[in-house]
Amino acid sequence: MLSDTTPSLPLPIEWLPAQGAPQQLIVLLHGWASNAGAMAPLAQALRAHFPQAAVLAPEAPHPADTRRATAPDQIPRRQWYPIAQLSPDNWPQRVAAVLPMLHAWVLAQQQRLGVSPAATCLGGFSQGAILSLALAMQNDGLCGRVLSFGGRLVQTPQAAPRQTTIHLFHGSADLVIPAQGSREALEQLGALQGDATLDIAADVAHELHPALINSALQRLQTHIPLRTWQAALGAAPVA
């Protein structure tokens, strides 16, 4: 049961297993000037491959501070943090201001659904990916995996998570958040002995493209976390 202090977020997508309790929790955060419905293609693909997972896509708490001229007025446009007058200097502070609320919300969902942090996956696109990465970097062990689509690290990391595998997905033709940011994140996390992967889809722009979704499914099904390898090697007899 959620307490009175638990942050409340609209939850347009809450897909639970047809039978039995959830074995995994997948949280998907949408991008700027978008809404939870935009995460439906990714949510559907994950649900098909992980039928015992609870798949949640919450809605950002604030209306977007700028309206896209090409967007129909009847479609809600939300944001996790404002981008008006955004700069490299104030960007980290704006992201950091959202993290306590998201952290408390994820903990509440884990408690409500009875899913452990190790069986939790945080995913997001664009602004949602930036927050997923920042949340995992700040709270090691909150989740077992991160799926970052078209995102990037806000700051150069000083340490890498030890209990979280970070999967980066990017389009090579992304002009909004260039793929170079994901390349740099992979190098930085690798230098810190972190567990990270990178998949770049050729000729894909800033979008939740099917090629990137397929890459995410493959990573989730085939990638053995570095911590698992280390535990196995540590338990192996010394030759």
For domain 17-64+76-227, which CATH number applies: 3.30.360.10, 3.40.50.1820, 3.90.550.10, 3.40.640.10?
3.40.50.1820
Helix axes 91-113 and 127-138, enclosed angle (nearest 10) = 70
Contact 30, 74 (CB under 8 A): no
Percentage, residues of the chain above pLDDT 70? 89
CA pair distance 105, 27, nearest whole angstrom: 10
Name the residue with higher pLDDT: 101 or 230.
101
> Which sign, positive or negative, has the C-alpha torsion 123, 126, 127, 130?
positive
CA pair distance 185, 153, nearest whole angstrom: 7
Contact 148, 124 (CB under 8 A): yes
pLDDT value of position 69: 40
pLDDT value of position 74: 64
Name the residue with higher pLDDT: 67 or 160.
160
41-55, 169-183, 224-238, range with the lowest pLDDT? 224-238
Asked if the model's pLDDT at residue 78 lies above 70, the reply is yes
Which residues, at least 6 apart from 49, have a Cβ–Cβ distance to it below 8 Å? 217, 220, 221
| Alpha helix segments (H runs only) across the chain | 40-49, 91-113, 127-138, 180-191, 210-222, 226-235
Helix, coil or strand: residue 81: coil
pLDDT value of position 213: 98
Query: Looking at residues 171-175, what average pLDDT do you find?
Result: 98
Q: What is the pTM of this model?
A: 0.91
The continuous run of DSSP H or E covering 29 comes out as: strand 24-29
SS3 content of the chain, % helix, strand, coil (to 5): 35, 20, 45
Query: Looking at residues 153-161, what average pLDDT do you find?
Result: 95
Q: Phi, psi at residue 221, to the nearest 5°?
A: -90, -20
